[in-house]
């Protein structure tokens, strides 16, 4: 009978340890990578001489995690493009650093880190079919998710006149 009581008390101790661990771990969840559900789209408008004239920002929620489809990109562009302007360049900022790369002293140099596995900024160019998408994003540490973005530079067409 005493062996049964001992087994029960051991199980209670194990449950308490697990609960305590989960409580402590919950504080660190923001430092684990998660799928991306949304990004910021930053549209920079420039004139023919490539002088910045306007900046717009909007939040886009993905239909599929980590993926901006070609249709989603077309919707973004159709809202902002006209016969008077064109896409000059497009790039993605995807902060895909791992929690192992973050230390108390490294936060100031975090954005300078460039290795084969962590290239935060990349240019997006049209594929052979003329489409840009889909644009894939790597999982990102929860705490840094708001930094992921798509930057589109839209230039005034050469045929536009200022009458």
Q: Express each pLDDT in 8-38 by its tens digit.
A: 555 555 677 777 777 777 777 777 899 999 9
Cβ of 152: how many Cβ atoms within 10 Å? Answer: 22
In this predicted structure, the answer to whether residue 65 has a pLDDT above a threshold of 80 is yes
Q: Give me the architecture of the 34-156 domain, per CATH.
A: Roll (3.10)
| Residue 91 Cα to chain centre, angstroms | 12
Reported as a pLDDT band with limits 50, 70 and 90, residue 158 is: confident
pTM for the model? 0.74
Spatial neighbors of 59 by CB under 8 A, at least 6 apart, are 38, 39, 40, 41
């Amino acid at each position: 009978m005493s062996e049964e009581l001992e087994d029960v008390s051991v199980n209670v101790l194990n449950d308490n340890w697990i609960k305590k661990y989960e409580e402590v771990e919950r504080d660190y969840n923001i430092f684990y990578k998660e799928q991306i559900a949304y990004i910021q789209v930053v549209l920079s408008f420039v004139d023919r001489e490539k002088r910045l004239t306007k900046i717009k920002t909007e939040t886009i929620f993905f239909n599929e995690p980590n993926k901006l489809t070609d249709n989603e990109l077309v919707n973004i562009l159709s809202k902002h493009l006209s016969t008077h302007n064109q896409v000059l360049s497009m790039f993605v900022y995807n902060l895909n650093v791992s929690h192992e790369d973050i230390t108390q002293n490294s936060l100031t140099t975090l954005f300078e880190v460039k290795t084969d596995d962590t290239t935060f900024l990349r240019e997006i160019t049209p594929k052979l079919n003329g489409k840009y998408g889909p644009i894939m994003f790597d999982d990102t540490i929860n705490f840094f998710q708001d930094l992921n973005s798509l930057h589109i530079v839209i230039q005034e067409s050469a045929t536009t006149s200022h009458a």
